[in-house]
Structure 1
Amino acid sequence: MFKVKDILGLIKSRQQIIADESQKRQKIRQQFSTKILFESVNGDTK
């Protein structure tokens, strides 16, 4: 049988994993958008 503490621990770790994933996605999206921004700026100056 699961103890309440075990279940809470599982829920917490799952939420932590989801939070980490969303942070990773945000970072990738930021890097991608800044890359596009730089490319468009560089394209205009040529």
Structure 2
Amino acid sequence: MRTIEEKPIKLKVVRTRRGAILHMIEISKNHFFLEQNPLKDSKYG
């Protein structure tokens, strides 16, 4: 395997208004991935 590109990221643990604790992976200021909220029904799960 060869690395093509490498970027620094931030891993955050956040709490939603409903009290769920989720993991957020922040790639840049306005680009992030958020873990699915287990307290809500999922249309994708």
TM-score range, shorter chain: under 0.3
Flag the structure with higher strand content.
2
Q: Greater relative contact order: 1 or 2 (C-alpha under 8 angstroms, separation 6 or more)?
A: 2
Flag the structure with higher helix content.
1
Structure with max Cα Rg: 1
Normalising to structure 1: TM-score of the pair? 0.20
Normalising to structure 2: TM-score of the pair? 0.20
